[in-house]
A and B are shown apart, each in its own frame.
Chain A
């Protein structure tokens, strides 16, 4: 494990215990603001500080940074809510239910991870059979395909679990339409039908979100087996917030590990609970932790992950990133892709992506 200098703990402590920012020195604020901005969690800290009525007591430059972050968040929040409304309007009249995922779900369901979270795209899940009609309806209402190369279209449709991203021609809003939560080619195969049968309706809006356990498991799967980019601290914060919120429901903890087993997501759950507890102090009941440990990986993998994950998630000193950081990131990226695609396909895809970094395409 990386030795944790004081600088690396300031942000983690602020995330785990928001009230702790009351006592920071100016030098510590300098570090916190910079690291939080880099980790994309500054808005979250700002919102929680505002909720606690703390901002007025901070030095002027701290207030300015926090207020700027709040304004950016409020803007993205407006955009997100509006986009969901426009998607609902476009899909009105189709038989298909719409299930919101990730940021859109947290925001519309009023869940704690939404506080200060900057979501970019709107992720929705629909039954696979409804894909053609949903795609047609969105295209009719002004969304367009953003990735036009046949290779990219196939990547999303055949290998992933979603339509290629659709962008609205007037607004730049992006919607990702999924029919499952992990790619077709992943080793892990959570059954979408099971997700639907436990889904929770949001009032009478016609929108659904995943059940509490499924939301946690999806977030864990996204963080530890999915995702185009390396694992981010933001993902762990989402898991932490969800667990702290849902653990107040009496049947949440007892059902979590069995549900993970049903959905074939026990390994991601193991990692999620382990690293949330380790890095953010998320309280996990011992009996749940013990049950989840039964699905832990073997010693070598566990040791490797214990080195890599905190290495990637612990904030660096903003002036001096340590060497080896990018290697850890790359390893996680490869691992994430290995679980997404059979190995033969993997090599083709990674080479192509590396190539395009040097020769950027128009319009992407």
Chain B
């Protein structure tokens, strides 16, 4: 029995991001869409991970579980919520391999 592989998250083509942060709040500007988003620290970190290079959801789960000292089972739903929102906004694609 093989486990189904994790989806790969990548930044959409044509997306260029500009970032600013003050305290633990971030504003990010999607130049191609001309849209500005306010992100909390976690969402911002997720987006920055994907922006740097495509990541599997598994890798992201592992990374944030370690960073936050949390259980992967707790981290995964928060990641999926953030991912869904970013996909809806056209920032990332979530590809099933």
Contacts and interface: CB of A to CB of B under 8 A. Distances in A.
A71 B34 CA distance: 13
A85 B90 contact: yes
Given A86-B90, A89-B90, A79 B34 contact: yes
Nearest to B33: A82
Contacts of A89: 90
A347 B35 CA distance: 44
Contacts of B90: 82, 85-86, 89
A75 interface: yes
Contacts of A82: 14, 32-34, 90
A75 B12 CA distance: 20
Contacts of A79: 34
Contacts, number: 19
Contacts of A81: 14, 32
Interface string B1-45: 000000000001010000000000000000111100000000000
A275 B12 CA distance: 44
Contacts of A294: none
Interface string A38-57: 00000000000000000000
Nearest to A76: B34
Contacts of A248: none
A86 B35 CA distance: 13
B14 A85 contact: yes
A82 B15 CA distance: 10
Nearest to A83: B33
Contacts of A78: 31-34
A35 B32 CA distance: 31
A83 to B, nearest CB: 9
Given A85-B90, A86-B90, A89-B90, A75 B14 contact: no
Contacts of B33: 78, 82
A318 B31 CA distance: 37
Contacts of B32: 78, 81-82, 85
A82 B34 CA distance: 9
B53 to A, nearest CB: 22
Nearest to B88: A142
A82 B90 CA distance: 9
Nearest to A86: B90
Contacts of A86: 90
Interface in A65-97: 75, 78-79, 81-82, 85-86, 89
A157 B34 CA distance: 32
Contacts of B31: 78
A204 to B, nearest CB: 13
A233 to B, nearest CB: 28
A76 to B, nearest CB: 10
B91 to A, nearest CB: 12
A93 to B, nearest CB: 13
Contacts of B14: 81-82, 85
6 contacts: A78-B32, A78-B34, A85-B12, A85-B14, A85-B32, A89-B90
Interface of B: 12, 14, 31-34, 90
In order of increasing CB-CB distance, the 10 nearest A-B pairs are: A82-B33, A78-B34, A82-B32, A86-B90, A78-B32, A79-B34, A85-B14, A81-B32, A89-B90, A75-B34
